[in-house]
Structure 1
Amino acid sequence: MIRKQVLLSIAAAGILLALVDCHSHPTPTDASASSSPPPAYGGYASQAAWGKHLVAIAGCSDCHTPKKMTAMGPMPDTTMYLAGHPGAVPPPQINRQEIEQKGLMVTNDLSVWVGPWGISYAANLTPDETGLGGWSESQFITAIRQGKWKGLANSRPLLPPMSFVAAGMNQGFSDEELKAIFAYLKTIPPVHNLVPAPVAPLAAH
């Protein structure tokens, strides 16, 4: 009886080792799955759809879409989606000297920023000629990667807040993600809106 129990135990151990050995070697299905490329476009149906998602999570609309003041506070003006600061709206009436020396000021729609660098305006990101209409994909990537105005290598640096936003995007986004963002921006309705040029700080006058 004891001999039978020993034989059964040895047989059970052999079966267990065989099962472990089988699972330690990937099947052809496992191997093909592990070597398959990641889903195209981040799992979205198209490059532009992926870009739309990235634009949303990056908060691009927070500054680049003007706001309308409502009883519940500022709300995005959907007719100006990503069109930047309205060109017809003058700069805010403020004490620039004090602000530029002591800190910064942001308008309630986040489209105008004032600080030691002067006055900067949220840019038009729509595919209109006053926005990104004439931009190439490589220019867009250069603007983010190198922090350059209009994506031109020899141009001035981007001004706040886009200077530090671009720095964050540079660290957090791959080239493929930046290409997807640009592809999406090329699909949104163009809005003709010539954003004012930035204004130099008073100390530079």
Structure 2
Amino acid sequence: MYGAALAAAGLVCAFTNRHDTPSQKQKVTTVHQRPTQNPLLKRGEYLVMTMGCGDCHSPKKMTPQGPAPDMDRLLSGYNSNEPLGSFDKNMVKTGQWVLFNGQNTAFIGPWGVSFAANLTPDATGIGSWSLAQFTKAMRQGKAKGLDNNRPLLPPMPWPNYTHMTDDDMKAVFAYLKSLKPVANTVPAPMPPAP
């Protein structure tokens, strides 16, 4: 009985002595996502998050816990306003190295330079895409889901998604179309250095 009363008193003290404003040391950066009640969008959000789409398609910002997705530019791809930066072409020419930029949205390898696409519903992203185009891109590795277009370039792991169910493909597409549009024209890939 005495132990329970002591524990209760400790809890009361802890709650009454807490500060409403956390100290600078205690502040934590949280990722805010808008909640959705639509089961299709919830499924799509779950798939996009677990498949790691944002690992490459979301620009990062530095936080006290390290790099985190920039939620203002969620899934908007390589930031076209930032310079690519220089690199030693000989490092990737032989195929021994692959380089990623600090945002993890630009990739340099023996295929050249590829950039993470804008997956938001803006016109510079997938705004004009149909579900059929999205499905073709994901299952056949065709850029913009167009038959006569180039293949999707590394490191896009499109072969991993070839066996997604039609329902899961619809859910991912619906979720991406529900995001905040971000105007960001991602550069075209660059061919390998001679």
TM-score, normalised with respect to structure 1: 0.73
Alignment of 1:1-205 (within 5 A): 45-101=38-94, 102-162=96-156, 165-171=157-163, 173-203=164-194
Give the superposition deviation at 1:145: 0.9
Q: What is the count of residue pairs matched by the alignment?
A: 157
Contact 1:74 1:108 in 2 (8 A): no
Structure 2 distance, partners of 1:72, 1:47, is 32
Q: CA RMSD in A?
A: 1.3
Structure 1: stretches of 5+ with no match in the other structure: 1-43
Give the superposition deviation at 1:110: 1.3
Structure 2: stretches of 5+ with no match in the other structure: 1-36
Change (3 A) 1:46 1:61: same
Q: Deviations over 1:167-204 (max 9, x none)?
A: 01113x2121011100110100000011111110012x
Contact 1:105 1:115 in 2 (8 A): yes
Q: Identity, % of aligned pairs?
A: 45
Contact 2:113 2:190 in 1 (8 A): yes
Larger Rg: 1
Structure 2 distance, partners of 1:45, 1:82, is 20
Structure 2 distance, partners of 1:197, 1:100, is 20
Q: Which has the higher helix share?
A: 1
Give the superposition deviation at 1:71: 4.0
Structure 1 distance, partners of 2:118, 2:38, is 26
Structure 1 distance, partners of 2:129, 2:69, is 25
Tell me which residue corresponds to 2:21.
Answer: none
Tell me which residue corresponds to 1:39.
Answer: none
The residue type equivalent to 2:177 in the other structure is K
Give the superposition deviation at 1:70: 3.3
Give the superposition deviation at 1:45: 4.4
TM-score, normalised with respect to structure 2: 0.77
Structure 2 distance, partners of 1:98, 1:55, is 32
* Matched residue SS, 1:113: strand
